């Protein structure tokens, strides 16, 4: 009997089963591509945010640059909202296509756990870390991005430090930082292996090398992020009695 699909096949000459089977590969590509863009974004984000280590003036100047101050007098925080919205959309897309990899029932989880014990393979452990950090980021990443979309004017050496110290956001940032660095580092490593980017003539050796580089990068980014967070907390602590007051350019002693 003719159904809708076979009629479409007759009319278009295309095989609908073939069309269907391409979907998982497309979704897989979507996950890799969105993950890669987000990982690159985070690498820049942690470096830019580390500008606080160079002083309040450096962080203020960079914030204003992102607000388009060279072109718009005084800067336009709406630019940050738009950027945060674009990143948030990618974040949702990436998470949305990733949920299909979560164990969908307790039985499936048990099967996975047994499998993991049997294999005790380091890549299975990496997968476990990815699932856990990804789950954490669902919530914490959304809180952070929502704040950045709705209060873009509250970014700066004092505004950010007040939020981190006086508004008690530092525990959230600490957990988010560890999760995002581990997730991004492991994600990039898995992308390199999956698509064989640097396999060259000796894939085994080059994969081991990629793993080492990923470990070094994760450590460096964690140290940089922790140093920045500690600096924001110190500034926030010193500024606690003047909570809400904004940084005035050129006022740094």
- Known binding-site residues for heme b equal 45, 94, 144, 183
Closest CA to 24 of 100, 89, 104: 100
Report if residue 137 touches ligand HEM, rule: CB under 6 A.
yes
Q: What whole-number distance in Å separates Cα of residue 107 and Cα of residue 168?
A: 39
Query: Segment 77-96, which members bind ligand HEM (CB under 6 A)?
Result: 80, 83-84, 87, 91
Residues 18-57, mask of contacts with ligand HEM (x by CB under 6 A): ------------------------x--x---x--------
Nearest residue to ligand HEM, by Cβ distance, number only: 160
Report if residue 141 touches ligand HEM, rule: CB under 6 A.
yes
Closest CA to 149 of 86, 71, 243: 86
In angstroms, what is the minimal distance from the CB of 21 to ligand HEM?
33
Q: What whole-number distance in Å separates Cα of residue 53 and Cα of residue 235?
A: 11
Closest CA to 218 of 96, 93, 129, 87: 129
Q: What whole-number distance in Å separates Cα of residue 169 and Cα of residue 52?
A: 17
34/210 with CB nearer ligand HEM: 34
Q: Reduced to 3 states, what is the DSSP secondary structure of residue 216? A: helix
124/154 with CB nearer ligand HEM: 154
Closest CA to 95 of 127, 129, 135, 45: 135
Report if residue 98 touches ligand HEM, rule: CB under 6 A.
no
Chain residues binding ligand HEM by CB under 6 A are: 42, 45, 49, 80, 83-84, 87, 91, 137, 141, 144-145, 148, 155, 160, 163-164, 173, 176-177, 180, 225, 228-229
């Amino acid at each position: 009997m003719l159904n809708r699909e076979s009629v479409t096949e007759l009319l278009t000459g295309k095989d609908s089963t073939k069309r269907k089977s391409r979907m998982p590969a497309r979704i897989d590509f979507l996950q890799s591509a969105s993950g890669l863009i987000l990982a690159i974004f985070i690498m820049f984000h942690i470096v830019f945010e580390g500008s606080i280590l160079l002083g309040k003036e450096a962080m203020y100047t960079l914030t204003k640059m992102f607000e388009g101050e060279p072109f718009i007098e005084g800067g336009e925080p709406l630019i940050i909202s738009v950027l945060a919205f674009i990143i948030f959309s990618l974040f949702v897309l990436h998470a949305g296509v990733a949920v299909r990899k979560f164990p969908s029932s307790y039985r499936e989880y048990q099967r996975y756990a047994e499998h993991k014990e049997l294999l005790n393979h380091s890549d299975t452990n990496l997968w476990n870390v990815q699932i856990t950090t990804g789950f954490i980021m669902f919530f914490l990443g959304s809180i952070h991005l929502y704040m950045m979309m709705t209060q873009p004017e509250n970014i700066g050496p004092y505004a950010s430090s007040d939020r981190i110290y006086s508004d008690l956001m530092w525990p959230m940032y600490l957990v988010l930082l560890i999760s995002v660095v581990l997730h991004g580092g492991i994600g990039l490593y898995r992308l390199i292996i999956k698509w064989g980017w640097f396999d060259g003539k000796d894939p085994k050796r080059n994969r081991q090398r990629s793993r080492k580089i990923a470990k070094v990068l994760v450590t460096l980014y964690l140290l940089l992020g922790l140093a920045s967070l500690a600096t924001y907390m110190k500034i926030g602590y010193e500024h606690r009695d003047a909570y809400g007051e904004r940084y005035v350019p050129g006022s740094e002693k």
